[in-house]
Amino acid sequence: MFSIGDFAKIGRVSVRMLRHYDAIGLLRPASVDPGSGYRSYHADQLRRLNRVIALKDLGFTLQQVQTLLDDELDVEQLRGMLRLQRAELAARLAADAARLTGIEARLRMIENEGHMHTEDVVLKKIAPVRVAELSAVAASYETVDLSPVIQPLYPELLCRIEAAGVDVTGPSVAYYEPAPGESGEAVVVHASVQVAVAPRDGYDFTIVDLPGIESAATIIHRGSMHEADRSMQILARWVEEHGYRMIGYAREVCLEFVPDEPDKWVHEFQVEVAR
């Protein structure tokens, strides 16, 4: 038998916490001295204590923890819940990291507001192109919503294209359109690569002919797509200065892609314009 102080040390919790667990019936001591009120614990009670701490750290309330333990949660169930929580935490961390990256990019853009040069914009005609693509819906056109949707589409698309024996003939093209039937600002995200095959049944991707653009304002963007707003704002300034208006969303043509080195990425943004 262990005193409450020794049991707290072994379990790496506070005495105060053990008293609270006793008070709510979550972890009763093995015995209580009727004269002194001293609590004593058995070593095998560490099993329940470990589960209490694990479930609490997974985000469950103490009431939920008690219900789960009373249902005799086994080790494999606990391990499954841990895996699920770990995946959710990883997703939240990735989302927070993306937001921080976006904030840093926005601050750099604010710092450079007086140094945006519209001479980098070129007005040109874009030829039609045939692409293979996968698509999905993003909650909005914001980078924080687009990135987690479009990023997994490209490796999946390339895997499917390779399995189908189809050759890639040109750069990838990401393009966007309003999501039909969706409320708010949802957009359909199209992840595509150029190919030279005819559409046919049996492909687990779609073959699409992207129409040409008679008049497109274009700009070369170098670096991470988290910095894309900087180039798009230069493009917008040029459009306004030259009396044009934008039509739809910009296409993003990937001219150079180095995995895990976004600073070396090169894209051309193409947006249809008209007077």
pLDDT per residue over 28-70, tens digit each?
999 998 889 999 999 989 988 888 888 887 778 888 888 878 7
- What does pTM read for this prediction? 0.60
Looking at every residue in the chain, the average pLDDT score rounds to 86
* Assigned fold of 2-73: Multidrug-efflux Transporter Regulator; Chain: A; Domain 2 (1.10.1660)
Residue 262: phi and psi, rounded to 5, are: -60, -25
Residues near 271 by beta carbon (within 8 Å), at least 6 away in sequence: 216, 217, 218, 235, 239, 246, 247, 248, 249, 250, 251
- In Å, how far from its chain's centre is CA 96? 9
pLDDT per residue over 90-103, tens digit each?
877 877 776 676 66
Q: What CATH code would you report for 116-274?
A: 3.20.80.10
Parallel/antiparallel/unpaired status of strands 39-41 and 2-3: antiparallel
**Fold equal for 2-73 and 116-274:** no
pLDDT per residue over 142-186, tens digit each?
877 888 899 899 999 999 999 999 999 999 999 999 998 766 789
Q: What sections of the chain are H helices per DSSP?
A: 4-11, 15-23, 46-57, 62-70, 75-111, 143-150, 153-164, 228-241
Confidence of residue 216 (pLDDT cuts 50, 70, 90): very high
Q: How many degrees, rounded to 5, is the angle at CA 212 between CA 211 and CA 213?
A: 120
Give the three-class secondary structure for 177: strand
Residue 236: phi and psi, rounded to 5, are: -65, -40
Identify whether the C-beta of residue 180 lies closer than 8 Å to the C-beta of residue 137. Answer: no
Would you kindly state where each structural domain of the chain is located, as residue ranges?
2-73, 78-113, 116-274
